[in-house]
Structure 1
Amino acid sequence: MPEEVYVFTDQTYQRLAAAAIRPLSVTDVLFGRHRVRRHIGAAFQVAGRDRSGTWLAVALIEGEDDEYTVICARYLDEAEIEAVGRMGGRANE
């Protein structure tokens, strides 16, 4: 199975800084155990928790096969966290 590659551009870092989200939190979500992934065409979304337990949604765009550019990330609200838990993200752990 090929490994997925995640690309962070200058724009990625600018958008994360504007949202007050650390790049390390994004990688925690992307490589985390309990996450929910949704792939729609070239768009890819991953929801999960960073190492502090904070829930995030990360938006990515697929370029080459299995290569994804991180576009942005945001914090999830309580309703979204509950929905992610129902989808298998294990919100209550």
Structure 2
Amino acid sequence: MEEAYRFDERSYDALDAAGVTWQTVQYVLRNRPRVRRHIGAVLNIAGQGADQQWYMVALVEEAADEYLVAGARPLDETEIQAVSKMLERGAS
């Protein structure tokens, strides 16, 4: 089953505050390479947007394979290096 991602008003408010568009979030969620970390009901996905900038998207699992976007932000250089190393090791 393919994952479904949902936005609500709080999602849009959080993205606006971080200066990240919903289109960028969709791009990060749907494209590869990316790093996924699932801890409990929280899913973090790091990947590049169409602008080649690296982003972290935070989601909350509402049901099996259904996620609410909680926020997103650009990664800093240290985080980009860490994500790059994870990708080199085959993390996804």
Separation (CA, whole Å) in 2 of partners of 1:82 and 1:32: 19
Count the aligned residue pairs. 88
List runs of 5+ in structure 1 lacking aligned partners: none
3-state SS, counterpart of residue 50 of structure 2? coil
Q: Which residue of 2 aligns with 1:23?
A: 22
Match of 2:12 in 1: 13
Please state whether the residue corresponding to 2:37 is helix, strand or coil: strand
Alpha-carbon separation, structure 2, partners of 1:33 and 1:19: 22
Residue 83 of structure 2: aligned partner = 84
Specify the code of the residue in structure 2 equivalent to 1:52: D
Q: Which ranges in structure 2 are unaligned for 5 or more consecutive residues?
A: none
- Normalising by structure 2, report the TM-score: 0.93
Alignment partner of 1:75 is 2:74? yes
What amino acid is aligned across from residue 27 of structure 1 in structure 2? Q
Structure 1 position 33, deviation (Å) = 1.1
Identity %: 47
- Cα deviation for residue 15 of structure 1 reads 0.8
- The SS at the match of 2:20 is coil
* Distance in 1 separating the partners of 2:67 and 2:41: 9
**1:6: how far off?**
0.2
Secondary structure of the structure 2 residue equivalent to 1:80: helix
* Distance (Å, rounded) in 1 between the aligned partners of 2:25 and 2:63: 20
State the Cα distance separating 1:32 from its structure 2 match.
Answer: 1.1
